[in-house]
Amino acid sequence: MTQPPPAPSHPFAALDPDRVLDALASVGLYGDGRLLALNSYENRVYQVGIEDGKPVVAKFYRPERWSDAAILEEHAFMAELREQEIPVVPAQVLAGRTLHEFAGYRFAVFDRHGGRAPELDRPEVLEWTGRFIGRIHAVGAARPFAHRPALDVDTFGVQSRDYLLAEGFIPPELVEAWRSVADQALDGVRRCYDRAGDVALLRLHGDCHGGNVLWTDAGPHFVDFDDARMGPAVQDLWMMLSGERGDMVRQLSDILAGYEDFMEFDARQLYLVEALRTLRLLHYAAWLARRWDDPAFPAAFPWFNTQRYWQDRILELREQVALMDEPPLWPV
């Protein structure tokens, strides 16, 4: 008998191993008892051994985060990329569908692909990675998303600031300091966007950092398109950069050496690097706050919402205010 969906305050409370296996059985995949929870907090993702078959990865989507249409856009985008022989891992088509429902949970099934972390300190690895990001963006520029939001000042910045203030996460004695520096940071982000001008938006991976790129002897493949959305191309490039300014200049040069084999890069977007970093910092704090009623979050992020945490965020945003007024990584 199908059980009711979990209570809204604990979206994954009822997603136990038996329910995971029953969900897979509902689409004709029968587990052999091997079940490994993978590193995911927004959703729940499991590697599952299959009787008489290869293991699969089952992804259970957080209720109420994305509409069905938005999830299907993610799947369709990945299928487009695979059709162009770009190394991504699309959702399997089972019974004619990629998105399934069981006991109140929506889920999709993917092939399991292993790999190691990319060596992003090697120029040839950065160039190779840039080449594939360029190919992803060439496909992403062909048409817009219809059901997924854009990455912009409002969705990542203003809404994040407003939520944290409205819900009382910031200690009372730090509210004014945090509010002031958040407002300064958002003003700085707007100035960066003004300097960049009217840059094109395209379908992005959205969370393209080293942890979402797996490397094999055949090169990279890209995983976890859950945050795919419309945005400027540089969003999928800047998270590959690290270290001091000179290091980032060299790394970006290597990435673009491969990227521009397939996609022209508008250098005005370099004004957005620190602005996008600032938006990500605000969005990340608000993401943790929005998920704090999920028991997995206090266990995994015990440092969140402490006095020290918000003091560090104030200092971090002050640094970002200064960085956004510096020249871009190279002249535009």
Active-site annotation, residues? 207, 224
Task: With beta carbons less than 8 A apart as the criterion, state whether 65 and 44 touch.
Answer: no
Task: With beta carbons less than 8 A apart as the criterion, state whether 46 and 29 touch.
Answer: no
Cα separation, 23 vs 19, in Å, equals 6
Q: What residues pair up with 45 in beta bridges, in sequence order?
A: 59
Cα separation, 47 vs 316, in Å, equals 36
Cα separation, 224 vs 319, in Å, equals 30
Q: What is the DSSP letter of 102?
A: E
Considering just the CA atoms, what is the radius of gyration of the chain in Å?
21
Task: With beta carbons less than 8 A apart as the criterion, state whether 107 and 61 touch.
Answer: yes
Side-chain half-sphere exposure of 16, counting CA atoms within 13 A: 3
Task: With beta carbons less than 8 A apart as the criterion, state whether 37 and 52 touch.
Answer: no
Residue 37: name the closest of 302, 305, 299, 303 by CA: 299
Residue 74: name the closest of 226, 201, 199 by CA: 226
User: Which 3 state secondary structure label does DSSP give 26?
Assistant: coil
Task: With beta carbons less than 8 A apart as the criterion, state whether 238 and 273 touch.
Answer: yes
Task: With beta carbons less than 8 A apart as the criterion, state whether 150 and 201 touch.
Answer: yes
Cα separation, 215 vs 212, in Å, equals 10
Cα separation, 44 vs 35, in Å, equals 12
Tokens standing for residue 17: 């191993």
